[in-house]
Chain A
Amino acid sequence: MEAVAALERDAELMVRVREGDDASFALLLERHRGPTVNFLYRMVQNKAVAEELAQEVFLRVYRSRETYEPTAKFTTWLFRIATRLALNAIRDGKKWKGQESLNRELLEGVARQMADRQPTVEQELVQEVKITEIRQAIEALPEKQRAAVLMHKYEGLEYTQIAGALRCSESAVKSLLFRAYETLRLRLAHMAG
């Protein structure tokens, strides 16, 4: 029920944006900024590029406010735009292999996770290697499987929403997810346990 209420709230906010209420756009941005940036970050694996793409996503949302019709879930629409932009960026070769920036981001993440536990250098390195392996395993998935897993696992989207974002049927999404998780289970088997 909470999820349904949140979805309706998004559509309501977007209708208000259409009517010229910029404060509602700020609320939508507040609610979806993090998930959008993180989805894009995990897709392109570069924070600066992810933020640039997320800016483009919200710009497109704002630009299309006058023609917006609440015929479907706002999140589905948002992730459809984000997915297309991410896939276009990857296909255009804008996949920034800046390992330097990625490693810095990983280290920042590791430092945050370990902040309360005062880890040893060894623990930090183990954690960094673990995250790198997860990242590489996800990166190796076919594009649609990767997008589906990121939306399902990390953003908690429903099958219908993922289907809407990827423009395929719900059963196709379930099949994509099942195959992706199977592949990941095999690739990351040595880390589990």
Chain B
Amino acid sequence: MACLQYDPQGAEILMDYCAGKLDGTRSAELEAHIEECFSCKEAVDGQRRLWETLDAWKPVEVSPGFDATLYSRIAAEAERPWWRRALWKPLIPVAAAGVLALALVRMPPSPPAPVKTPVASSDRIDLQQVEQALDDMDMLTPVGQTSSSRL
């Protein structure tokens, strides 16, 4: 086995070994190697010590009312009228594209001289809302499903 620092997969081997995810054969190879190689032994020991140090931060217990709160939120959402639910959010980009297309169609052939006007705060808010909606859509898309496959 090559030294970890010369192996292109050295970092991965080191992390996997300390996480207990390296298969038996490769673990045995690494263990045999570090018996003879001081620098690799140091690297393994360092990562192992860090791993054990991080173990001190134990998980917290979830509050007993977590599920009840969640189910009541789900129930409350189901009772809300459809137009108040967030289901229309994915339509925002489509509507925005429609408005843009309409504006382009209706735009006069020679536009007047540009006049710099400060962006109204409501426009900024709309942009933020669109951005937020796009973020929401992104999070709701299962991994592996691209936006193009959704369209």
Is B98 in contact with chain A by the CB < 8 A criterion?
Answer: no
| Residues on B with beta carbons closer than 8 Å to the beta carbon of A130 | 53, 56
| Residues on A with beta carbons closer than 8 Å to the beta carbon of B122 | none
Whether A192 and B49, one on each chain, are in contact in the complex, defined by CB atoms closer than 8 angstroms, is yes
Kindly provide the distance from the CB of A169 to the nearest chain B CB, expressed in whole angstroms: 13
On whether A55 and B73 interact (CB within 8 A), knowing A37-B66, A47-B60, A131-B56, the answer reads yes
Is B51 in contact with chain A by the CB < 8 A criterion?
Answer: yes
On whether A63 and B140 interact (CB within 8 A), knowing A34-B59, A37-B60, A192-B50, the answer reads yes
Whether A152 and B144, one on each chain, are in contact in the complex, defined by CB atoms closer than 8 angstroms, is no
Please name the residue on chain A nearest to B69 by beta carbon.
Answer: A55
Once the chains are docked, how many angstroms separate the CA of A70 from the CA of B52?
Answer: 36
| Residues on A with beta carbons closer than 8 Å to the beta carbon of B114 | none
| Residues on B with beta carbons closer than 8 Å to the beta carbon of A135 | 57
Whether A59 and B53, one on each chain, are in contact in the complex, defined by CB atoms closer than 8 angstroms, is no
Whether A77 and B59, one on each chain, are in contact in the complex, defined by CB atoms closer than 8 angstroms, is no
Is A118 in contact with chain B by the CB < 8 A criterion?
Answer: no
Interface residue from B47, B86, B135 paired with A88 (Cβ < 8 Å)? B135
Is B74 in contact with chain A by the CB < 8 A criterion?
Answer: yes
Is B81 in contact with chain A by the CB < 8 A criterion?
Answer: no
| Residues on B with beta carbons closer than 8 Å to the beta carbon of A84 | 135, 138-139
Once the chains are docked, how many angstroms separate the CA of A80 from the CA of B53?
Answer: 27
Whether A184 and B60, one on each chain, are in contact in the complex, defined by CB atoms closer than 8 angstroms, is no
Whether A51 and B66, one on each chain, are in contact in the complex, defined by CB atoms closer than 8 angstroms, is yes
Whether B47 and A181, one on each chain, are in contact in the complex, defined by CB atoms closer than 8 angstroms, is yes
Chain A interfacial positions (CB closer than 8 Å to B): 26, 29, 33-34, 37-38, 41-42, 47, 50-51, 54-55, 58-60, 62-64, 67-73, 76-77, 80-81, 84-85, 88, 105, 108-109, 112-113, 127, 130-131, 134-135, 138, 152-154, 156, 164, 174, 177-178, 181, 184-185, 188, 191-193
A-B contacts besides A70-B142, A80-B143, 9 pairs, CB < 8 Å? A41-B59, A54-B62, A58-B70, A72-B145, A81-B140, A109-B60, A112-B58, A135-B57, A192-B50
